[in-house]
Amino acid sequence: MVLFQRKILLAVTGGIAAYKALELLRLFKKQGADVRVVMTKSATAFVQPLAFQALSGHAVHFELLDTEAENAMGHIELARWADVFVIAPATANTLAKCAHGLADDLVSTLYLAVTCPVYFAPAMNHVMWHHGATQANLKRLQTHGINFIAPESGEQACGEIGVGRMAEPETICQRLISDLTAPQGLANLNVMITAGATREPLDPVRYLTNRSSGKMGYALASAAQQAGANVTLISGVTHIQSPKHCHFVQVETAEQMHAAVFSNLENCDIFIGTAAVVDYRPVICADEKIKKNAEHITFTLQKNPDILADVAACENAPFTVGFSAETHNLENYALEKLAKKKLNMIAANWVGRDEGGFERDENALEIFWQHGRKTLAMAKKSELAAQLIALITERFNDAKKMHG
């Protein structure tokens, strides 16, 4: 194993697997980590806090409002101290509270307060694990950008057999070592990503928009962070919770997105335009709701600014990557956009088909650049994002070498 020096905040919640957290703490310490432990009150029924204190060399924290901390805000001090937050074991109750943003104890409040990567190692009865509510909470947490270390199958404390045993401490420790010591190809680089759909109001009630969910853009933001980048995410309208670990800007219209991009573009190394920007906006937005009186109604539209082309055309432009969603002639339209807008790369995907595209969790991409292309097969958007970020990193480095 590779030694890693990190400040790890270990949260222990109330399950029989709490005893495994002692071994996990020992392994973290063996690898050179500085570990602080927080426990829920129910966790103390399984393992005495003194054991964690003896192994960590630090006092164990339980209380949300610590009278000995500055301003009695010990949870804020802990949140800012940590390089990584590990919840092991993570009970069904803890998963549910974190998924819905409840903050009624120290552990759930820390989840909302930390800005570092978060890892959950779930542990519970196999029926609880497979329950629809638990699975829905897992999916909700994944939209927050957290990391799961999946439970294992085997005999459980209740005597039943199934999936729900907390992963072994060695497995959890090795996962962190792998993640935290992995080569970070975008380390110290500034990456800006646009995501989601824009809206152009017709009146105070109605608007023009499209079907983009923002899932691909948010997945790319997470993948870029994992690769070590400093990420700015300019987001149009989505139903995805804003990510924790990046500079986040919320906008609605195309003009607002254009302004947000250019106000944050200084020192940007890589720009990835995944947002589905509405091409046209009404010349006039009605002040009042338009009533259904006439048989026909006509709107005059004007073209919105082309954010992608403007970024690529600016002085000292960043490495610029575009997206192209097509219903037909995918390759021709993608290559045309690549050349016309002077992009470094473009990722094209089909929409309106049985698989992939808007509002789906999976997609496939055809990537084009000057004198090159690559196909990324149908996969979850989170997996696809990691592949695309790796390819962008490779092409970015090649471009740097080419230009000295």
Topology (CATH level 3) of domain 190-402 = Rossmann fold (3.40.50)
Whether residue 299 contacts residue 202, with contact meaning beta carbons closer than 8 Å, is answered with yes
Measured distance CA(49)–CA(57) in Å, rounded: 12
Which residues are the active-site residues? 158
**How many residues would you count in the chain?**
404
Kindly report the pTM of this predicted structure. 0.65
Q: What is the pLDDT of residue 393?
A: 95
Q: What is the pLDDT of residue 359?
A: 67
Neighbours of 50 (CB within 10 A): 10
Q: Which residues of the chain have pLDDT under 50?
A: 1-3, 70-73
Q: What is the pLDDT of residue 64?
A: 78
Tokens, residue 65 = 């409002």
Q: What is the pLDDT of residue 68?
A: 60
Listed as own residue / partner, the contacts of 113-117 with beta carbons closer than 8 Å and 24 or more positions apart are: 113/75, 113/76, 113/79, 114/9, 114/79, 114/82, 114/85, 114/244, 115/79, 115/80, 115/244, 115/245, 116/9, 116/82, 116/83, 116/84, 116/85, 116/245, 117/84, 117/85, 117/147, 117/179, 117/245
Measured distance CA(364)–CA(378) in Å, rounded: 4
| Alpha helix segments (H runs only) across 181-306 | 215-226, 254-263
Q: What is the pLDDT of residue 148?
A: 93
Locate the domains of the chain by residue range: 7-180, 190-402
Q: What is the pLDDT of residue 293?
A: 87
pLDDT, tens digit, 9 for 90 and up, residues 162-189: 899 999 999 999 989 887 776 678 988 9
User: Would you state the CATH architecture of domain 7-180?
Assistant: 3-Layer(aba) Sandwich (3.40)
Alpha carbon separation from 155 to 12, 20, 125, 150, 354 (Å, rounded): 21, 15, 10, 16, 40
Measured distance CA(326)–CA(322) in Å, rounded: 13
**190-402 has the same fold as 7-180:** yes
Measured distance CA(25)–CA(34) in Å, rounded: 10
